[in-house]
Structure 1
Amino acid sequence: MTDIFVNLPTADLERSKAFYTALGCELNPLFTDENAACVVWDENIYFMVLTREFFATFTDKEVADPRTTAQALTALSRPSRDEVDAVLAAGIAAGGVEPRPAQDYGFMYSRDLEDPDGNVLEFLYMDPQAATQGPEAYLAEQAQQ
C-alpha cells in the first residue's frame, strides 16, 4: 500500500487548518505543531500544510508563491457531481476561491478550488464506465442513445 503526502506551503497555518477541516478533513495531532499540520484526507492521502519557512527547509529551490505560480494541481475524485459541488461550497464558505468555471466533459465533471494561500485542489467526478473503459467508450455509448 502507498500513502500519498502532498506538502503545501502556507502563510497562515491556523487559517489553513480551519480551511481544510471545513472541507471535512481531520488533523493528525501526532504530526501537527507550530510549523505544520497533518491534514488527513482519507486513510492513504494526507496534506502536510507547512509554514513557508518550514516548507523551505525541505528544498534548496525557491518556494513558489501559490497565489501567482502554479507548481502542482492536486486532483481528488468524488463519488458524484453533487459531492464535487458540496466540497466546493464548503471550501468557498471557508475562504477558498473557485478560480474558473466548472468543466463538464460529459464523462467527467471538474471544479477547481484554491485554498486561502492559492494552492489549487481539483475535485472531479468521472463516470464509472469512462473510468474503466476510457472516455471514448462512454462517448460512443452516449451517441447511440
Structure 2
Amino acid sequence: MSKMIFVNLPVSDLARSTAFYQAIGAENNPQFSDDTASCMVFSESIYVMLLTHDKYRQFTSKTIADAKATSEVIICLSSDSREAVDNMVAKAQGAGGAADPGPKQDHGFMYGRSFEDPDGHHWEVMWMDVAAATAAPSA
C-alpha cells in the first residue's frame, strides 16, 4: 500500500472552509465528516481534515496558531501544468482565499504560486517538468 497523507487543519467556520476546499477541487468524503470535521479528498493519497477548534483540541494541548498572523506550515500540492497552477490559485481567490501570499516562482522547468485559505493556511501549487529538471545543470 502506498503512503497517504492526512493534513489536519483547525478552521474557524467549518461550512465556509468545506465550501472553499470544494471550490478548489477537493471532494468531501461524508463517511469521515460530521458537524465537527470535514474530510476533503484531493487524490487517493492526499486528504485534508478540516477540524473545528474544539475537535482539533482533542488531538493537542498546544495553542492553536492564528495562521493569519503566524506561519505554522506551508503545504504544497503538485499540479499537471502551469495553467492548472494558475487555475487553482484563481479558484482559491474566487472562493474567499488570498492569492500569492508568497512570491511567484518561475524557473522555466518549475512554476509555482501560492494561496491562503480563509483561515490563513498557506498552500503552494507547483508544476515541474521532471525531464527538464533532471537535465538542468546544478548550481
TM-score by length of 1: 0.88
2:136 is aligned to: 138
1:17 is aligned to: 18
- State the Cα distance separating 1:61 from its structure 2 match: 1.2
In terms of mean alpha carbon deviation, does 95-104 or 36-45 score higher? 95-104
**In 2, Cα distance between equivalents of 1:107 and 1:24:** 24
Q: Deviations over 1:106-140 (max 9, x none)?
A: 22111111000000110001122245x2xxx3257
1:104 to 100, 103, 106: 106
List runs of 5+ in structure 1 lacking aligned partners: 141-145
Contact 1:73 1:121 in 2 (8 A): yes
Question: Does 2:120 match 1:118?
Answer: yes
The aligned amino acid for 1:63 is I
2:67 is aligned to: 66
SS in 2 for 1:42: coil
The aligned amino acid for 1:107 is F
List runs of 5+ in structure 2 lacking aligned partners: none
2:37 is aligned to: 36
- State the Cα distance separating 1:3 from its structure 2 match: 1.1
Contact 1:107 1:139 in 2 (8 A): no
- State the Cα distance separating 1:4 from its structure 2 match: 0.6
1:128 to 113, 127, 130: 130
- State the Cα distance separating 1:78 from its structure 2 match: 0.3
- State the Cα distance separating 1:100 from its structure 2 match: 3.6
- State the Cα distance separating 1:7 from its structure 2 match: 0.3
**In 1, Cα distance between equivalents of 2:112 and 2:5:** 21
After TM superposition, which residue ranges in structure 1, 4 or more long, deviate above 4 angstroms? none
- State the Cα distance separating 1:94 from its structure 2 match: 0.4
State which structure, 1 or 2, has the greater radius of gyration over its C-alpha atoms.
1
**In 2, Cα distance between equivalents of 1:118 and 1:92:** 12
Same amino acid, percent of matched pairs: 48
1:87 is aligned to: 88
**In 1, Cα distance between equivalents of 2:94 and 2:137:** 35
Report the structure, 1 or 2, having the larger helix content. 1
CA distance 1:130–1:73, shift in 2 (3 Å): farther
Q: What is the RMSD computed on CA atoms of the aligned residues?
A: 1.4
